[in-house]
Chains A and B, each alone.
Chain A
Amino acid sequence: MSTTRPEGYWSGVFKRLKRDKLTLICSGILLLMLIVMIAAPLIAPHSPYQGSMIRRLKPIGFPGYPLGTDELGRDMIARLIYGGRLSWTLGISPVVIAFTIGGMLGIIAGYAGGWLGMLIMRVTDIFYAFPSVLLAVAISGALGAGIFNAVLALTLVFIPPIIRVAESVTTSVRVLDYVESARASGAGAFTIVRVHVLPNVLGPIFVYATNLISVSMILASGLSFLGLGTKPPEPEWGLMLNTLRTAIYNQPLIAMLPGVCIFITSICFNMVSDGLRSAMDVRN
């Protein structure tokens, strides 16, 4: 139809991302971690469950165990790789579910306004009254330990803040002239939300949700640390941190390793989220 095709929105975003070295490095690290975790059975030198009483708490660099062994003599490399699988699942899946549900509710609240918006936002406020850590602990404590319950608890913790962000972004877009003009053209609410509201609000909500991944990972580790998330002998970074804390005087470096993994992952997710935020800003 046309002879000139100037760049679209997403190609512009990618172009700006390519210039952002820090974001690129961080996404590279995350991608590498993902590949290693997916290929865990091929990469891990030992089983993450098979321990040995004579090889307990060997230091970093011990022959055959480059990152040493834990308090039950299990290979730390294998534990960290398999633990990442669980930690990432616990970090990402609540955010994905909360993004879907919270985003939807927030957009409805923001676009519809009135009593429906009021109802959604006031219920959100009730959840806001509790500190997020306390809420997660309370919900998962009430439901009992287990991965599914931990994901459920974290999802419930993340829905309110996502609703709030989605609602405020939608409210600011709803009053813009192009939405008014779409209403004046006789389009229905569903069409307007799909064509005019969604593309303009999903970006900010998505960036905010990316930010929550690191929080979710830390909270999930916290739940496991308290014995509310995963149960031993499952490897999970938070749980490993908990069980290794008894060895902190003998092998402080090994006791730190799961924490280092959590730290690197959350820093990387935060950096990528920041990079996305600035790359998605059209005004740059």
Chain B
Amino acid sequence: MTLAPIPDRGGPAQPLLLVKDLSKHFGKSGSVVRAVDGVSFAIRKGETLGIVGESGCGKSTTSRLIMGLIDPTAGEVIFDGEHVGPGGLSVAEFRRQVQMVFQDSYASLNPRLTISESIGFAPRVHGLSREATNARVRDLLAAVGLEPDQFAQRYPHELSGGQRQRVNIARALALRPRLIILDEPVSALDKSVEAQVLNLLVDLKAEFGLSYLFISHDLNVVQYISDRVLVMYLGRVAEIGPVDDLYAHPSHPYTRALLASRPSMDPDHRRTTPPLTGDPPNPVNVPSGCRFHPRCAQVMPKCSAAEPEMVKINADHQAACFLAETVPA
């Protein structure tokens, strides 16, 4: 067994990952937490889709649902045209093609295993021989910018945060996946290391022909790395669109509020409106109608009555708001 990269099937036009109406409700009837509630999106081949949102909006739950680490309440995941689950692509096959990098670089490495054992774990599980695994581990360490001779036999506590996150990226690459889910991969790193790791991710994407699902609460990082951005609010998609379009012309009041909350570097463009206040509502008691209406600056009577549909602003850009208007092309 060689664990070669799995070839593309559907051609470049077919989305690599299609998520349809994914929902996860925690708890029993009475006090149900709607962590993720009917989320749909697509990741195209070779692109980076960024997901942004406040803490508790369901970003991480979405990533765990896609990985199959928790079972969805409803919804479907389609990978390269094939349904994931019984009757379609097996979960084992799917997991070979989709891997994940977590936020906490220390907790995501077993303290009792050497770096080389951690990276080699998945290939060994999938039946790669010891020699081939060792060779692959050395290649991967080199690819993520760590000298194999120096790092292969070390333990996680001997490495810095940035080095550990490089190891985690190498481990995610070990099965030659096509999609990597990055759950806040740089949030725990300091700024200079963050930039290095982001650049590494960009390089690896080209080298290995990857697609990324990049989850973060940092709008600047998402802007830098993403091709398209999805804004989540309380388990729902608020807005999705190409990064430049969405950052220049945010259509959802929540996206506008998020973007306005970024500290400005330019003294001539000081923020004049107050930033978004308050916490997101408790996902046990979701507000009626549009979930954002209690905090929205442009709230209208109908916002609390009905939930807005996704409105197509242009071919690629959609927002779930009554005020969003289709811009003629």
Identify B95's interface contact among A176, A177, A185, A200, CB under 8 A: A185
Residue B112 at the chain A interface, CB threshold 8 Å: yes
Residue B247 at the chain A interface, CB threshold 8 Å: no
Identify A187's interface contact among B68, B108, B125, CB under 8 A: B125
B149–A4 touching, CB < 8 Å: yes
Residue B67 at the chain A interface, CB threshold 8 Å: yes
B134–A178 touching, CB < 8 Å: no
Chain A interface residue count, CB cutoff 8 Å, equals 26
Residue A186 at the chain B interface, CB threshold 8 Å: yes
In the complex with contacts A6-B153, A185-B122, A186-B96, A180-B158 CB distance below 8 A: no
Complex Cα–Cα for A191 and B150 (A): 28
Complex Cα–Cα for A189 and B293 (A): 45
Residue B327 at the chain A interface, CB threshold 8 Å: no
Question: Smallest CB–CB gap between A217 and chain B, Å?
Answer: 32
B153–A4 touching, CB < 8 Å: yes
Complex Cα–Cα for A191 and B157 (A): 23
A178–B107 touching, CB < 8 Å: yes
Set of chain A residues within 8 Å of B91, measured between Cβ atoms: 186
B134–A1 touching, CB < 8 Å: yes
User: Which one of B26-34, B49-57, B97-105, B312-320 is at the interface?
Assistant: B97-105
Proximity bits, B118-131, A CB within 8 Å = 1, else 0:
10011001100000
Set of chain A residues within 8 Å of B284, measured between Cβ atoms: none
Complex Cα–Cα for A195 and B113 (A): 9
Interface residues on B, range: 35 or more
Complex Cα–Cα for A122 and B111 (A): 32
Residue A5 at the chain B interface, CB threshold 8 Å: yes
A181 to chain B: closest residue by CB: B108
Proximity bits, B276-313, A CB within 8 Å = 1, else 0:
00000000000000000000000000000000000000
Residue B243 at the chain A interface, CB threshold 8 Å: no
Residue B24 at the chain A interface, CB threshold 8 Å: no
Complex Cα–Cα for A177 and B106 (A): 9
Residue A50 at the chain B interface, CB threshold 8 Å: no
A179 to chain B: closest residue by CB: B110
B109–A178 touching, CB < 8 Å: yes
A9–B122 touching, CB < 8 Å: no
Complex Cα–Cα for A180 and B100 (A): 10
Residue B154 at the chain A interface, CB threshold 8 Å: yes
Set of chain B residues within 8 Å of A178, measured between Cβ atoms: 107-110, 118
Complex Cα–Cα for A186 and B111 (A): 20
| Most chain B beta-carbon contacts within 10 A, residue among A9, A176, A178, A195 | A178
In the complex with contacts A6-B154, A199-B112, A200-B112, A184-B95 CB distance below 8 A: yes
B150–A4 touching, CB < 8 Å: yes
Question: Smallest CB–CB gap between A159 and chain B, Å?
Answer: 26
In the complex with contacts A196-B110, A199-B112, A1-B153 CB distance below 8 A: yes
Question: Smallest CB–CB gap between A149 and chain B, Å?
Answer: 39
Complex Cα–Cα for A282 and B106 (A): 13
Residue B322 at the chain A interface, CB threshold 8 Å: no
Complex Cα–Cα for A195 and B143 (A): 26
Residue B4 at the chain A interface, CB threshold 8 Å: no
Residue A8 at the chain B interface, CB threshold 8 Å: yes
B109–A2 touching, CB < 8 Å: no
Residue B155 at the chain A interface, CB threshold 8 Å: yes
B102–A180 touching, CB < 8 Å: yes
B168 to chain A: closest residue by CB: A181
A–B Cβ pairs within 8 angstroms, 9 of them? A2-B150, A6-B154, A176-B107, A178-B109, A180-B64, A181-B168, A182-B110, A187-B125, A196-B113
**Beyond the given A4-B150, A181-B168, A182-B110, could you list 5 further A-B residue pairs with CB under 8 A, ordered by the A residue number?**
A4-B153, A178-B118, A184-B68, A187-B121, A187-B122
Residues on A close to B: CB < 8 A? 1-6, 8-9, 176-178, 180-188, 191, 195-196, 199-200, 282
Closest 5 CB pairs of A and B: A185-B122, A177-B108, A199-B112, A177-B102, A186-B95
